[in-house]
Each structure stands twice: as C-alpha cells, then as structure tokens.
Amino acid sequence: MSMVEDAQVLPVTPKAQKRTNRPTSRGRLIFAKLARTPRFWVGTLTLLVIVLWALFGLAFYAYNATSQDVMSMNTAPTGNHWFGTDEIGGDIYAQTVVGLRKSLLIGFVVGPVSALLAGFIGALAGYLGGVWDRVIVWFIDLLLVLPALYILIMLYPLIKGGSWVIVMVYLAIFSWMILARVIRAQTSSLRDRDFVKAARFMGVKTSTIIRRHIIPNVSSLLIIDATLGVGAAILTETTLSYFGFGVQPPDVSLGTLLSSGTGAATTRPWLFIFPAAILVITVLATSLAGDALRDAVDPTSGANRD
Amino acid sequence: MTEPLTITGKRAPAVTPVLEVDNLSVTFGRGANEVKAVRGVSYHVNPGEFLGIVGESGSGKSVSSMAVMGLLPSSARIRGSVRFQGRSLLECSDAELSGIRGKDISMIFQDPLSALTPVYTVGHQIAEGLLLHDKKLSRQGAAARAVELLKLVGIPSPERRAEAFPHEFSGGMRQRAMIAIAIANDPQLIIADEPTTALDVTIQAQILEVMQEAKEITGAAVVLITHDLGVVAGNADRIAVMYAGRLVETGGVDEVFHAPAMPYTIGLLRSMPSMASSQSRLVPLEGRPPSLAALPPGCPFAPRCPLVIDACREAEPALSGTEEHPTHQAACIRSSEITSGKLTRSEVFPRPAPVLEGAPAGTDGREVLSLKGLVRHFPLLKGAVFKRQIGTVRAVDGVSFELGSGQTLGLVGESGCGKSTTIMEILELAKPQQGQIRVNGVDVADLSKRDRLKMRRDIQVVFQDPMASIDPRLPVHDVIAEPLTVHGVSKKDQQRKVAEMMELVGLDPEMASRYPHEFSGGQRQRIGIARALVTDPKILVLDEPVSALDVSIQAGVINLLKDLQLQLGLSYVFVAHDLAVVHHIADHVAVMYLGRIVEYGTSDDVFSRPRHPYTQALISAVPIPDPALERTRVRVLLDGDLPSPTDDIPGCNFRSRCPLYQLLPEEQRLRCRDEDPSLRTVDDTSVACHYAEHDALIDTVAKR
Ligand SMILES: Nc1ncnc2c1ncn2[C@@H]1O[C@H](COP(=O)(O)OP(=O)(O)OP(=O)(O)O)[C@@H](O)[C@H]1O
Ligand code: SF4
Ligand code: SF4
Ligand SMILES: [Mg+2]
C-alpha cells in the first residue's frame, strides 16, 4: 500500500510533467481479469470442445442422425454405435451430435437475448420514470399474465410449417419479463445515485448513461440470468416439442432425445445418459464461465482485491 | 444504588469500575482473510464517568463496544476479558446477556431509524423495554412512564408523540427516543456509538445536552464513541484515542487535549479547522489507516508519522504512562520527548506553506453566477390513483446571491433547509419556476440546447459522498474523462488531460487504470475533484465535499481546494453544514433557513458578528476541540427541529425556534408574528430579522 501513501503527499503541480503510458480501458481490464481466472478458461474451453464436437463430431462416423441400422436395434454402446441404438436402430451418438447443434443454438441465443432484452427494457423504464415507466411496466405485466403456451397453441395454424426458429423467438419473447422488473427496480434506485446525477449534469446522453453506468451496475444479475437462461431454454424447448412445437421428428434436439429416452432410463440407460450428460456439462461450463465473467465485471470481487 | 461487589463477594474498594475491559481482541475471518479489528484493548469506566473513545473510521471503535455488549456475529473470535460490575460478560450465556442488555447496560446507535421497529409506536417500544425487565409493572404504568421519559428527553407534547411511529419522527427526535429507551431502566452504563454523527450541529448540540442530563438523572457511566474530537471535548471526563484496533493514548480530557503525547493525537487535533483562525492553511494528516488484514510489525502509525525513526518499525510500542502522570498514557516510543517539550506540537505537524501567495490568477471579481429570487416549489401529492395536491413544499423560496470570479460563497444551514435543491436548480441550467439564474452574465432560460451543453463545461459539481458519486464499475481514467466524452474530445487528448488532472489533485497518473474501490475516501474525493476540473470550468459547485471524510483527511482536501482556486482562478459555491470549514474557505457566507437566505455577508463579518438569531445559534452549536473553552461556553440553543417546509407560517418563519423571540417583550413579538422580515442591510451584512440590532444573544455568543 505504500503507493497509496506516496500519492497523497505528491506535490500539487500545475502541469503534468511526465507522459504516462496509456491507461487501460474497462474492456481490457475485464478481459485481463478474466484471463487470470481459471474458472473462465475451464468453462470456455469446455464449451469450445462441445461446440467443435457438435460441428465435426460426425465427420468420421459411419452413421448419421436419420440412419437406421436394422441389424442392431436396442443395442448398448459398441465400437460401431458409440452411444448405442434405439428400438428402430437409430444411432444415438449421431442423434446426440445433431441434437446438440440445435440445442446449443437455442440455448445460446435465447438465454443472452432475453437477458439483454430484460436489461435494456428494465433499465429504460427505471431510468426514464414517469409515463414511460408506467407504459413499459404495464406492457411487462401484460406479457406476464398472458398464458404464453395458450397463445402459442392459438397461433399453431400460422406457425405449423415454420421451423424451430419460431420457437427460439417465442422463448426469447416470453422469458425476460420478471428479470426486467427486477432490473427496473434496481435502476430507479441507481438513478438517484450521485454518479448518475453527475453524468447528467455533465450533459451525457441518456442512452450513454444507461450503457455506461446502469447496465454495468446491474450486470451481475444479467449475467446470472443469461447463463441460467441457456440451460432453461434448452429444457423448455423439450416441453414445447412434447406439445408438438419446436423440433419435430425426424429432426432431433437434446430435448427431444431426453424426453424420448426418459422412459427407458432404467432399462436402456444409454438412451438417456449420454444426452443428459452432455446437457449437464454444457450448463455447468456455461455457468462456470458466466460466474467468472460476473466476478470480472465486479471490481470489488475477490481475485483482484489486494 | 447498592455497593458493587467483586466476584469473591467481598466489599469492593472505594471505586470499582462499572466496566473493565482487559486485553480485548476481536478477529474476523481466517487465514489470509483474517482481520484483526481489535488488538488488545484495555480500559475501564468508573461509575458516573463519561469516557470518550475517539478514532478514525475503521479503527475498531464500534467493534470493541459491540464485543462488550455481546452483539458481534458468531464469526467473530473474541479474546480477553470484559467485566461489568465484576461479572465476566464474555462468559455469560445469551439469556443472561439479554437480561443485562437494555437494563444495566444500554446502547444508543448512530442510526436510530434502524434501531427502532417501524411497525410499533414509539411509546409502545419504550413501554416494551420497561415491561421486559420489570415484570411487576402494569401496561398502563409502563405507558405512563414512557410518556414521562419522552418528556424528560425534551420531546414536545409527549402524550401525542408517544402514539407516533418512528418514521414520523425527525432524526433528532428519533435519537431522543433512543435515549429515552436507553435510560428507561436506570442503567449503570450507557454506550453511545456515534449518536450525533447523522445529525445537524444544532440538533447535535441538543442531543449532547440531553445525554448529559440523562447521565445526571440516572447516574450512569457513559461511553461515547465518536470520530469528532469536538464532540467529546466539552462532555467527557476521560478520552481514549484508538488507532488500528489499539488504544494509542488515554488520559483526562484536559491532558489529552492540552498536552497530547502521541503524534497521531497531535495530528488529529491540529488537522481540525477551527472557528478562530480562517486564513492559514490547515494541517493535513497524510495517508490512511493501515489495513487490519496484514499489519506490518512495529508502530501501526509509522507510515504516517512525521517523527518515525527506525526503532518504531521494530516493535509495537505499549501504552505507558509517565512518573508524574500515570493515568495519561501513550503508545509511542518518543512520547517522552513530546511531553518534555523537546518536540513541540507545531514541530511534529508543521503548518504547510501556501503554494501561491496573493490574489488568484485572472480574477477581477466579475460576476460569474447570480441568482435572483430563485423559487423551487414541489407539489405535495396524495392518493394512489388520482393524485391531488394537498400542499406545497417550499424547498427554495426566493433565493438571491451573487458569486464573483475567484471567490467562494459558503451556503450553510441545517439539513432540509434547501441548500441542495438550490444548487441542483443551478446545475440543471434550465429555466427556474420563478426568478433568474445567470451564468457568466447569460440568463440560462434563454439558452439553446447546444449552448447549454457548452455551458456545462464551465460549471461542474463535486458531490458529498465520494463513494456514491463515482461509478464503482468504471476505472478511474474513464471516471475522470467522462465530462470530456460529451464535448467530442479525442481519446488522446482525453488521456493527456486526465493525467494532467490527476497530477493536479495529487494522485499518481499511473493509477488511472485502477477501480475506485482501491482508493481511500480522501483519494476518491480527489478523483471527484479531478473529474470536475477536467473541462477547465470557471465555477465549481461543491455539495458538502468534505463532510463524508475523516477529519484527518478533510484538511488535505480543503487545502487542495484552496490551492486550486488560487492557481486556476476558480469560483466556488461551497455548501456545508460544518461552519468551521466554511469559515475557513469562504469569502462570503449565505445562511439559509426554510428555503430563504436569512443572513448574507462577508465571511469575516458574519462569523465575527452574526446578526440573525439563527446564525448565532448555528455558530454557537459548533463544538470546539478545547475542553476548557467548551465547558465555560454559554450556548444559544435552538428548540426543536426545522418545521416542515409545507407549513405556511405567517410572519417570521424562524419564530417557532427563535431564542431572541423568547426574550422580546410582547409588543415587539407582535411584529415577528405579523410581518415577514425581508433582507435588509445592517452594517455590512444583509439580515432578515426585525430585531437584528438586538444584542441580548450576541453577548453570549461573543463569549465563545
Ligand atoms: N462482521 C465483520 N466481519 C469482518 N470484518 C469486520 C466486521 N465488522 C467490522 N469489521 C472490520 O473491523 C474493523 C473495525 O471496524 P469498526 O466498525 O469498529 O470501525 P469504527 O472505528 O467504528 O469505524 P467508523 O467510524 O467507520 O464507524 C474494520 O476494518 C472493519 O472492516
Ligand atoms: S512510535 Fe514512532 S511511528 Fe509510532 S507514533 Fe511514536 S514516533 Fe510515530
Ligand atoms: S424577526 Fe423575530 S422571530 Fe424572526 S428571527 Fe428576528 S427576532 Fe426572531
Ligand atoms: Mg463505527
């Protein structure tokens, strides 16, 4: 701490005498701290491996997700069928790889997008206050009370032919509201904090204030929500598939694999265990990386306290 | 009162201390996170004695007293012994402790709102405390006693007030209610942790009076914990100074104040701005207290001590007295040199020389800011869905003043009088509800959006709490550069400018990529000042810029502000409730009461010869860090609190609390009741009082 003491007794001089090396920007500081966190590397490298596997896992594999090997139905994992087969001879390994692609896409789009939506809409309502706040909150509450699944069922005729992309949009639209209300409440207390007032008196634009001050100060919540949202979206998609939306046969996702494999979990565990394990690993790796990110944006958190 | 017994049951010698703390230490956390908050503290309090414990923030004052009360979380590891009337408190069970707490020992906290339960009436809570410890008392009896107690602590119309809820009380009244609860069961010992820190000076003076009274009525011993030496000077019998979890000096109040034997105490005393001197620079105590997590060996004050020698870093000096003053003890290996007079106080902490002499650069006294009849009223609304106006809050009600370039205007008054609203109105740079604001001769109502943005360069603000006014998630460089981003300054110029500003306020530019939490309070306030200066403004609005800082750090920041004003020709609007600070820095002073200025004049005139009874009361409420002066001083005390700004008071709005009004004959009072006094010139100051020439009160103030 000697540096701190020295600083206070520095003489007051009118001009800067020495050129200093460039100060590090916030982005770089955050990244530097991330890079020093093992959790971050474990999380991201695991995710990277999973993504690469989803992309190239079938490159040197004899079967694909739709192929049926009538010679071996209901077999446990073998050298031929790495994760075994189902009752019609479908290869579980290939299905898992293909399903993973879809699930990753759904999870990693829906989780972050809904957190971002929540962040911006909540922050906007909380920061602007007054009429805007009331209108936005009214809208949020409306979305909250709407029976979301019912709407989807009503729209079914319209979206029947549509792909699972619609499900993604649907999931993103109906999952940000509660967090948005939390963020709004936090923002309205942040708004009265002196540093936000100070920015306003400097003439900083509203959008900049939200981006520079509000969002980073509520980011812990956003990051937690985004990472949890990844897993939640993957699982919700399962429910929807069950009702006949989203990913439909012969297309597969981790969700559909899991739901069809659950019944056989005790008798033919390979139908269930492999997709489930991949899902758990994905979710864990995401929250590990998310956790590291949250610590990195919070300057007062453990690692760089000295 | 029965004679206290020792544990062996023998009759105790003449004085057995009520409280004896021996070698108390408190540790939080384990391993690398271990924080030694209290490290071997010993003291005693005799019956009826008033002990003041003084120390900077984080010195362990609160933790040591919480340990005495058994109120620390279970994660705290406590060693040593605490004896209350001979009983060892640390060995008591929780149930036994609860029996003692609130009955024999009671505690008063800094924040009375959190100590009172919001859902019960104040009367109920006092009665509850009585019933808890006296099973024979009836409910009615307890309620009646509660009203009596409220009356005792000076709450007006106590019968009605007993029915009120805590949130309906003002800060001062809540603290009185806390004192009422504290003395309800005739305690032997009252521990008060910063009971007046959250209050205005005028209310602080009242509370300290009430505490003295409470002490006399109950005969209890009092331990008052505070960071403000002035608070204990007039009240305490003995003082203990704490630093880094240890006592570093103890002794009678006169000994410690007049012949401090330890450099830290000397520094604390010398760094306080005094009402007596206004011209010379303050004496800063540089640096900050050490981190209690990793204390280096030796004297903990060594990094900040001007007398440090190599021997200091070897072993931590023990608290020891001298032959002739065994009760006056100090923990410093060089204290004998200090007490013997070989080292004088001014040698230990010399007054720094001003950086520049003479008139500020480029100041011609031209008007840079002027307010004319500024008004800001807030409608008071009621109803959830259909809001209707049930009144008006007159936050600012016709304020006028002028600020010349290179000058400082001090704006003083109790909290809630409209100081902050006034400066917020200025900073909005928008057309006020009524009246006129001119900056550099331009009426802000006529500004276009572009011009307003440009004008923001010229007028910047420094806030009270450096923790709150800086975004904790932004590196310091970005914090300071923020005002520049608005004006399209290139990244490279921003960096140059930020480095320049950091040098200017005494921070190392190398620290630009650190986060705010790595800086101490005083340094953070410097960051706030650097941010305000980065656009080269002409006017700086300072909203209580030093009141959140420890005294030792305050001095450094005030010196810096004074130097910057000389170097850069800045003009300051300086809002503060600490009159000593204002006296030190301001050229002109405006005293505000209920949205109006009641007295306005040069600092010297106002402070040497206050005309308005309110100003006189404010000045006399400022505690003076000199026990001899403080004890003989006659105070002009104000009754009650600031009235609600929604009240429509005919005549003089200060009447309800005016001490002069009380002294006036009836025919003169008439005028105070009927006629609203406007500002008029008396000698060289403007005063809003019909009887400003009256000397009845001034005589008493002049004696201070
Ligand atoms: N529950 C706790 N866990 C860990 N550390 C603690 C805890 N309570 C207090 N401390 C630490 O103990 C030290 C002394 O704190 P304490 O509250 O006694 O200071 P203080 O002198 O009362 O300061 P202030 O003037 O700010 O009230 C500080 O470093 C503080 O961070
Ligand atoms: S022991 Fe040394 S460092 Fe500590 S206060 Fe005394 S002179 Fe200063
Ligand atoms: S006008 Fe009357 S009530 Fe008002 S301050 Fe003067 S003496 Fe007091
Ligand atoms: Mg404390």
C-beta atoms of A23 and B483 within 8 A = no
The dihedral sign for the CA sequence A248, A249, A251, A252: positive
φ/ψ of residue B293, rounded to 5: -80, -35
Which of B452, B473, B486 lies nearest to residue A297, judging by beta carbons? Answer: B473
C-beta atoms of A9 and B483 within 8 A = no
Select from A2, A5, A10, A12 the residue whose CB has the most chain B CBs within 10 Å, as the one to mutate to test that interface: A12
Which residues from chain B sit within 8 angstroms of residue A297, using beta carbons?
473
User: How far lies B316's CA from each of A262, B47, B248, B300, in Å?
Assistant: 69, 32, 11, 7
User: How far lies B484's CA from each of A44, B479, B494, B536, B572, in Å?
Assistant: 37, 10, 7, 10, 21
Class of residue B345 by CB neighbours under 10 A (exposed 0-12, middle 13-18, buried 19+): middle
Mean pLDDT (whole number) for B298-319: 88
pLDDT at B277: 62
C-beta atoms of B471 and A195 within 8 A = yes
Q: How far apart are CA B327 and CA A231, in angstroms?
A: 68
For a mutational test of ligand 2's pocket, the pick from B285, B305, B314, i.e. the residue with the most ligand atoms closer than 8 A to its C-beta, is: B305
- The token duo for B395 is 């936050």
Tell me the pLDDT tens digit for each residue of B98-153. Answer: 888 888 898 888 777 677 888 888 899 889 888 888 888 888 889 999 998 888 88
Strand partners, B461: B541
Q: Is A193 on the interface with B (CB under 8 A)?
A: yes
Nearest CA in chain B to A15: B500
Closest ligand to C-alpha of residue B61 is 1
- Burial pattern B215-232, b for ≥16 Cβ within 10 A else e, equals beebebbbbbbbbbbbbb
Q: How far apart are CA B251 and CA B650, in angstroms?
A: 52
| Ligand 1 centroid distance, CA of B62 (Å) | 7
ipTM of the complex model: 0.77
DSSP-assigned letters across all residues of B71-99:
-S-TT-EEEEEEEETTEEGGGS-HHHHHH
Tell me the pLDDT tens digit for each residue of B549-607. Answer: 777 778 888 888 888 888 888 999 999 888 888 888 899 999 999 889 999 999 888 98
Q: Find the angle CA(B441)-CA(B447)-CA(B453) to the nearest 5 degrees.
A: 100
State yes or no: pLDDT of A79 exceeds 80.
Answer: no
State yes or no: pLDDT of A3 exceeds 50.
Answer: no
Residue B501: partners with Cβ closer than 8 Å, 6 or more residues away: B480, B530, B531, B533, B534
What amino acid is encoded at A200 in this protein?
Answer: R
Tell me the pLDDT tens digit for each residue of B685-698. Answer: 899 999 888 776 65
- The token duo for A242 is 């069950």
Shortest Cα distance, chain B CAs vs residue A216, angstroms? 7
C-beta atoms of B461 and A198 within 8 A = yes
pLDDT at B45: 92
Which of A2, A13, A213 lies nearest to residue B503, judging by beta carbons? Answer: A13
Q: Which atom of ligand 2 is nearest to the CA of B300?
A: 4
Place of tokens 């701490």: A1
Which of A19, A26, A208 lies nearest to residue B474, judging by beta carbons? Answer: A26
CA atoms within 13 A on the CB side of B282: 30
Q: Which residues line ligand 2 (CB under 6 A)?
A: B 262-263, 299, 301-302, 305, 307-308, 312, 317, 332-334
How far from the centroid of its chain's Cα atoms is residue B496's Cα?
37
Q: How far apart are CA A71 and CA B521, in angstroms?
A: 76
Which residues from chain B sit within 8 angstroms of residue A20, using beta carbons?
499, 509-510, 512
DSSP-assigned letters across all residues of A13-76:
-SS--SPPPPPPPHHHHHHHHHHT-HHHHHHHHHHHHHHHHHHHTTTT-S--TT-B-TTS-SPP
Decide: A256 and A247 in contact? Cβ < 8 Å: yes
What amino acid is encoded at B222 in this protein?
Answer: V
DSSP-assigned letters across all residues of A102-136:
HHHHHHHHHHHHHHHHHHHHHHHHHHH-HHHHHHH
Q: What is the 3-state secondary structure (H, E, C) of B29-78?
A: CCHHHCEEEEEEEEEEECCCCEEEEEECCCCCHHHHHHHHHCCCCCCCEE
State yes or no: pLDDT of B94 exceeds 50.
Answer: yes
Kind of pairing between the strands at B320-321 and B189-193: unpaired
Q: In a 3-state reduction of DSSP, which class is residue B342?
A: coil
C-beta atoms of B506 and A15 within 8 A = no
- Burial pattern A124-138, b for ≥16 Cβ within 10 A else e, equals bbbbbeeeebeebbe
Shortest Cα distance, chain A CAs vs residue B525, angstroms? 12
> B372: pLDDT confidence band, cut at 50, 70 and 90?
very high
Q: How far apart are CA B117 and CA B105, in angstroms?
A: 20
Which of A8, A14, A213 lies nearest to residue B287, judging by beta carbons? Answer: A8
How far from the centroid of its chain's Cα atoms is residue B104's Cα?
29
- The token duo for B245 is 């979890």
DSSP-assigned letters across all residues of A230-269:
HHHHHHHHHHHHHTT-SS-TTS--HHHHHHHHHTTTTTST
Q: Is A267 on the interface with B (CB under 8 A)?
A: no
Which of A13, A204, A216 lies nearest to residue B482, judging by beta carbons? Answer: A204
Nearest one of B337, B328, B335, B302 to B316, comparing CA atoms: B302
Ordered alpha helix ranges (H), B365-457: 419-428, 449-455
pLDDT at A21: 61
Tell me the pLDDT tens digit for each residue of A253-291. Answer: 887 888 777 777 777 778 788 888 888 899 899 989 999
Terminal-residue alpha carbon distance, chain B: 38
User: How far lies A60's CA from each of A37, A53, A54, A55, in Å?
Assistant: 35, 12, 13, 12
Q: Which atom of ligand 2 is nearest to the CA of B311?
A: 2
State yes or no: pLDDT of B278 exceeds 90.
Answer: no
What amino acid is encoded at B367 in this protein?
Answer: E
Q: In a 3-state reduction of DSSP, which class is residue B564?
A: helix
**Highest-pLDDT range among A194-208, B2-16, B360-374, B632-646:** A194-208
Kind of pairing between the strands at B367-382 and B388-404: antiparallel
pLDDT at B358: 55
Question: What's chain B's average pLDDT?
Answer: 84
Q: How far apart are CA B466 and CA B546, in angstroms?
A: 9
C-beta atoms of A26 and B498 within 8 A = no
For a mutational test of ligand 2's pocket, the pick from B249, B268, B333, B337, i.e. the residue with the most ligand atoms closer than 8 A to its C-beta, is: B333
CA atoms within 13 A on the CB side of B102: 18
Q: Which residues line ligand 1 (CB under 6 A)?
A: B 28, 35, 37, 55, 57-63, 73, 227, 292
Q: In a 3-state reduction of DSSP, which class is residue B295?
A: coil
For a mutational test of ligand 1's pocket, the pick from B25, B30, B38, B61, i.e. the residue with the most ligand atoms closer than 8 A to its C-beta, is: B61
- The residue whose CA has the least distance to atom 1 of ligand 3 is B689
Nearest CA in chain A to B509: A20
Interface of A with B in 203-232 (CB under 8 A): 203-205, 208, 212-213, 216-217, 219
- The token duo for A4 is 């701190």
pLDDT at B581: 87
Tell me the pLDDT tens digit for each residue of B149-200. Answer: 888 887 877 888 888 888 777 777 888 888 888 888 888 999 998 888 777 7
- Range of weakest confidence among A184-193, B109-118, B330-339, B586-595: B109-118
Considering only CA atoms, give the Rg of chain A: 25
C-beta atoms of B513 and A24 within 8 A = yes
φ/ψ region of B58 (left if φ > 0, alpha if ψ in -120 to 50, else beta) reads left
CB atoms < 10 A from the CB of B13, how many?
7
